[in-house]
Structures are given as C-alpha cells and as structure tokens.
Amino acid sequence: MQTTPSANRRRVRPRPVGAALLSLCLLTGCAGDSPSALNPGGAGATRISGLWWLLFWISVAVFVEVMALMTWALVFRRGAVRVRHSQPMRFVAVAGAGLPFVILVTVYGFGLHDLAALGKSPGRDAPTIEVIGHRWWWEVRYQGASGVTANELHIPVGERVRVRLRTDDVLHSFWVPQLMPKTDLIAGQERQTWLQAERAGSYRGQCAEYCGTQHAHMAFMVVAEPRADFDAWVGRLDAPARAPETDAERRGQQAFVQGTCAACHSIRGTDAQGKVGPDLSDVGSRWSIGAGAVPNDPGHLGGWIANSQTVKPGNYMPPQPVSADQLPELIAYLQSLK
C-alpha cells in the first residue's frame, strides 16, 4: 500500500524551535556588556561573583557525586555484592553529615568575610553622592555642588565613592549589578553604600524593589571616568545651564520658562525653579528619557513632552499644552542643554 503525502507530513517531527530560541536567549545573556554581577567591573561585584562561582562549582561537584552514586546503585544493585552492616552507617555519617557540614561552614565563612568587606565604609575623604528615589526616577546630588541632576551618576575610576540613599515616597532598592549588591531605600531612614569601578565606562543600574506601575522603567546609569573629568563634571553643576545660541533655542527657552514646564522642572540660571520633577539643566546629555523608558533623541523627546503617558503610563507628568509651532523649538532648546 502506498503512503499518502498527508501521512508523510504527519510523520515529520517539528523542528525544535523552542529549544533554539531558548538557546539564543541564554547566549544573549552572555554579552560582554551585560549588566550582570557575573561580569564585574568593581571590587564589590567581584566579591559577589567569586562567591557565586564558589557555590556553583560546589553544586556541580555535589551533582556529579549524586549521579555517580545513583549509577553505581543501578548497576550493582542486582549483583551479589555483600555489604557489612557498618559500611552504610559510616557512609551516611561521612557523606551525609560530615561533608555537608564542612561545605556549609566553609561557604558561611567566605560569606561573612565578603559581607564584612562590602559593609566597610569608604574613607572620610571619599567623594559623596546623595541619591533620592522617586516614583519613578532618581535625584542625584554631589557633595560640595549646588546643582542637581537625575538618573545618572558620575564617579572617578579606581576610587571608592560613598553613596547616601533615601526615598521620597515608597520603598526602592539601589542596584548596580556590575559594581555592588542591592541596598534598600527605606522611608524615614538614610542608608549608605559605596561604588568603585576599576575601569572607565558606563554601568547600568536599576531599582530592584517593586515600587509601582513603572518599576521596570526606573533605571539609571553610572559613568566611571578619570578623576579630572569627574572634577570637571561636578564643577559644571555650580554653573548656569548652557545659554541658547540660536533663535530657535531662544524661543524654546522662552516657551519653557513661560509655559507649564517651569512649574515642575528647573534649569540653572533661568526663572524655571520647579521642584516636582527632575532638574533639566543637562537633559540633552543624559543617556535616556524617563529613567530608561526611551532613548534621548528629538523624536522621543517630542513624544514625551506632548504626552508622556503614552511613553510611561502612570508617571506624574500630564500632557503639555505645547503648540505645533513651539514644540520643535522647545525640543531644540532642551537638546542643547549639555
């Protein structure tokens, strides 16, 4: 009897598409710039990574031992192996109690050692940064500087930086996976941690405590740079924001100061002194809009100004009554603030 084409099609097994997609997802997590504690960029994350790998290889050794014992039991259980009464008890005492006790005590000792090192405060002369958690963005202040910025921390490479943390509303958690473990922000308390980056670059941070609708879009960036660049950055926070240079930028500044934007936002050196939302004195140079919601480019900035609720629903910024003629000029002005 001949087989019909439909029968042949039924015999063909589907390709393992799911397994392939899962493998691709796992490989993307191994990218060199992945914000992972297993890709450390500083002393704190290096300790966390070392402890993780210690636990990993202990788990691998235990798994291999269990599989070997199970294989031995399956192979020899039907044989005429004679076991003396004292042998099982000795095995249980050593492998079931003694060895796990030694492993747990060793891991506990390493954990206490790393915990003490991570909890050690920086020296008195260490740069100090104050970070305040809001729903859903981060306010950043530098000791000795009057200016304020948002969603971006600058630190000098190779130096420990003290970070003082507090929340303005609900619980948040400050986490830079490549630099340090999490530190919770608790209402009514000031918490403290430190950051140290061994190489220059950008390290993404994230709120790690669910804080409401836009918890996922409460990210920030830590920029590690040479000490001279860090000092220059902090020095710019005491200076007025960049003045507009073109007619379009001047009209944009006027629209900002005289419109509704100035009620919530401030720009150094202007009459805009709002305290509800982030300071926008350097908004043109920031890595994102909305604490990681969208890229910082003219198109996304225009959408954010017109109606940020379509970009980050639930945030506290209402749609802005900006005319079609004013919007490009306002965008040009804000993009020039670098």
Task: Among 20-24, 254-258, 313-317, name the one with the lowest average pLDDT.
Answer: 20-24
Reported as a single tens digit per residue, the pLDDT across 169-205 is: 999 999 999 999 999 999 999 999 999 999 999 999 9
Q: What is the pLDDT, as a whole number, of residue 90?
A: 76
Q: Over 60: is that where the pLDDT of 8 sits?
A: no
Reported as a single tens digit per residue, the pLDDT across 148-169 is: 999 999 999 999 999 999 999 9
Q: Over 80: is that where the pLDDT of 10 sits?
A: no
> Could you give phi then psi for residue 134, rounded to 5 degrees?
-125, 165
> Could you give phi then psi for residue 30, rounded to 5 degrees?
-100, 10
Q: Kindly state the percentage of the chain with pLDDT values over 90.
A: 71
Nearest Cα to Cα of residue 284 among 338, 221, 223? 338
Q: Over 70: is that where the pLDDT of 87 sits?
A: no
User: Which residue is listed with tokens 């492993």?
Assistant: 103
- The band of 26, judged by pLDDT with boundaries at 50, 70 and 90, is low
Q: Over 70: is that where the pLDDT of 1 sits?
A: no
Reported as a single tens digit per residue, the pLDDT across 217-228 is: 999 999 999 999
* Cα–Cα distance list, 307 to 122, 213, 280 (Å): 43, 17, 18
